[in-house]
Chains A and B, each alone.
Chain A
Amino acid sequence: MAGKSGASRRYTRRMAAAMTIYLAAIAAGEYLIDGGRVAGPLLWFFALLPGLAIAAAVYVLGLYIVEETDEFIRMITVHQALIATGLTLTFAAIWGFLENYGLVGHFELYWIVVLWFFGFGIGALVARAIHGSWGMHR
C-alpha cells in the first residue's frame, strides 16, 4: 500500500460525485427556483437538493473513516475531523453572539459546511506538524 488506499480512492470518487450533484443542484436552483419556474413539491425538492448533496459529502467522509484499513491514517483523519468540528463550533458560537449584539451581519448557515471543510484542511496542517503525515492526503 505505497500510494493511496482503496478507501482513499473510493473517497475521492464518491466526493467528486457528491460535489457534482451539489454544483448541479445549485445551478438548477438558480434557474428553476430563482427563475420562478417550479412550485409545490418540485420547489421543495430542488430547494432541498443542495443540502442533501452536502449531507452526502459528510456521509462520504464518514464512510472513508469506516473503510480505511490503515489505523494510523484513520486516526489522523479523525483528528482532522475533531479539529474541524472544534473550529466550526467555536466560530458559530462567537459569530452567533456577535450577530445577536448587532456587531456583525447575518451569517448564512449553509456556509458552516464550507467552514468545516476549511477546518478539515487546517486539521491536515496540524496532523502534518504533530504526526508527520498528511493522512489521507498522502
Chain B
Amino acid sequence: MKNRLKVLRAERNWSQAELAARLEVSRQSVNAIETGKYDPSLPLAFRIADLFGLAIEEIFLRD
C-alpha cells in the first residue's frame, strides 16, 4: 500500500527516528512503512493519522 508518510515527515523536518519516537515504535518500523514493505495495523494507522492531524485515507492510498 502506498503512503505519504515520507512527504509528511519531510514537511515537518522530522527524522525517521524522531517520528518513531513520537509514535513509540522503532525506526525500522517507520522505515518499513515509508518504503511500503509493511502496512501498519489499524490502531497504528490511527496513531499516525492523529499525529499528523489527518484522516487515514489522506496518508494511506489505495494501490
Contacts and interface: CB of A to CB of B under 8 A. Distances in A.
A133 B32 contact: yes
Contacts of B37: 130-132
A interface, how many residues as a size bin? Answer: 10 to 19
B26 A138 contact: yes
B interface, how many residues as a size bin? Answer: 10 to 19
Interface in B25-44: 25-29, 31-33, 35, 37-38, 40-41, 44
Contacts, number: 49
A5 B35 contact: no
Contacts of B25: 1, 70-72
B17 interface: yes
Interface string A61-81: 000000001111101000000
A72 B26 CA distance: 8
A2 interface: yes
A13 B2 CA distance: 38
B38 A75 contact: yes
Given A131-B37, A132-B37, A2 B17 contact: yes
Contacts of A75: 38
A112 B38 CA distance: 32
A73 B38 contact: no
B40 A1 contact: no
Interface in B18-63: 20-21, 24-29, 31-33, 35, 37-38, 40-41, 44
Interface of A: 1-2, 5, 69-73, 75, 130-135, 138
14 contacts: A1-B21, A1-B25, A2-B21, A69-B24, A70-B25, A71-B25, A71-B29, A72-B26, A73-B28, A130-B37, A131-B32, A132-B35, A133-B31, A138-B28
Given A131-B32, A134-B28, 9 more contacts: A1-B21, A1-B26, A2-B20, A2-B21, A70-B29, A72-B28, A73-B29, A131-B37, A132-B32
